[in-house]
Amino acid sequence: MKGQMQIQQMAFMILAVFLFFILVGLFFLGVQFKDVKRSVVQLQTEQAISSLRVIADMPELNYESRESLSLDEDKLRIMSGNFGNYYSEFWPVASVKVYKLYPKFDELVECPALDCNYFKVYDNKQESVKTYSTYVSICKKIKETGYVYDKCEIGKLVVGVISK
């Protein structure tokens, strides 16, 4: 009887130690997965920020290949006329929009329109989108009084990425 009681105590003790290590392992896995989730969010943020420069330097939008973060207004007008949707598999983001900031406008006028200040280059109409932006130059060639020169305005490139 006494030996049977010791065997039962030993079995319960082994079971308790086993359950303790299972709980410690679950806690450790929970901490590790929380770090993985934080790393995924940080990686998505870094990828979105780097895509700002990549998109601004694409030949489809860039003003001159030697200038970084300068967009061609004529190309923006063409791409904002639903032409950007043909690039749906090409864009690494959920949306690409460009706003003119200076000279200041009273209201947003979406291109293609006269005196427009807002270019919706691409939008795949996702539900949860987090946006990142950077300042860019929006330039075009102007010919006045026999001279051709570059006219640049301050703009903002806004890129949306799917947030999970």
DSSP 53-119: HHHHTSTTTBS-TTSSSEEEHHHHHHIIIIIGGGGTTT-SSSEEEEEEEES--SS--BSSSTT--EE
pLDDT of residue 60: 85
Of 120, 138, 157, which is closest to residue 73 (Cα–Cα)?
Answer: 138
CA angle (29, 32, 37) in 5-degree steps: 120
Give the H/E segment covering residue 130: strand 129-144
The Cα–Cα gap between 137 and 78 comes to 17
pLDDT of residue 164: 65
End-to-end CA distance of the chain: 60
Residue 51, judged by CB atoms within 10 A of its CB (0-12, 13-18, 19+), counts as: middle
164 residues of the chain, pLDDT tens digit each: 778 888 888 988 999 999 999 999 999 888 888 777 788 778 878 888 888 888 888 888 898 867 788 999 988 988 887 777 777 777 778 888 999 998 788 888 888 778 888 999 888 887 888 899 999 999 999 998 889 999 999 999 999 888 76
pTM of the model: 0.73
Going from N- to C-terminal start, the domains of the chain cover: 40-162
